[in-house]
Structure 1
Amino acid sequence: MLVVVANDLPPAVRGRMKLWFVEPRPNVFVSGVKDSVAKTVIEYLYQHCPAESGVMIFRSLPKPPGYDIRTIGPTRKQLVEISGLQLVIETLKNS
């Protein structure tokens, strides 16, 4: 599975992504593409997305921890690695 979350994608990239992915929300793409296709899509994103796109890519892996997270440019959520485990930092809102 491949999930792509972006702050803002170029129109041509967004149009191409709609060919392979479901877009449940603007600039959020989800697909169950095979591993080889996922690698091709990730390479495409790295080649065609400027840093301002703020892309976060989640790819499922067959080995622990079961996923890989990559980013292109600054994203709204911060990515941190603790003991080899990639995590996305969520800020708590005070009530």
Structure 2
Amino acid sequence: MLVVIANDLPPAVRGRMKLWFVEPRPNVFVSGVKDSVAKQVVQYLYEHCPEESGLMIFRRLPDTPGYEIRGLGDHNRQITEISGLQLVIEKQIEFL
């Protein structure tokens, strides 16, 4: 499975993504492609998307923890790793 969230995609890339993915919301793409195809799609995105695209990619892995999170450019969320587990920080709370 592959989930791609973007701030903004080039029209050619977005059109191509619609061939492989369901787009439940604008610039949110979900697909159940095989792992080998998912690697090719991620490579395609990294080659054809500028930094302004703000990609966040969630890819299923056969190993623990079962997924990988990758980002490209300035996305709205921060990716962090705690004890080998990748997490997305939604909102940071500052303590006084």
Poorly superposed stretches of 4+, deviation over 2 Å: none
Report the alpha carbon displacement of residue 74 of structure 1 after superposing the two structures with TM: 1.3
For residue 71 of structure 1, give the secondary structure of its aligned residue in structure 2.
strand
Q: Tell me, in whole angstroms, the C-alpha distance in 2 between the residues paired with 1:14 and 1:23.
A: 10
What amino acid maps onto 1:9 in structure 2?
L
Identity within the alignment, %: 76
Contiguous gaps of at least 5 residues in structure 2: none
Q: Give the RMSD, CA atoms, in angstroms.
A: 1.3
Q: Would you say 1:18 and 2:24 are equivalent positions?
A: no
Aligned residues: 93
Structure 1 residues 38-78: Cα deviation after superposition (integer angstroms, max 9, x where no partner): 00000000000000000000001111101000111111011
Q: Normalising by the residue count of structure 1, what TM-score does the alignment of the two structures yield? A: 0.94
Distance in 2, matches of 1:86 and 1:51, equals 21
User: 1:90: Cα distance to partner?
Assistant: 1.1
Partner of 1:74: 74
Q: What are the ranges of 5 or more consecutive residues in structure 1 without an aligned counterpart?
A: none
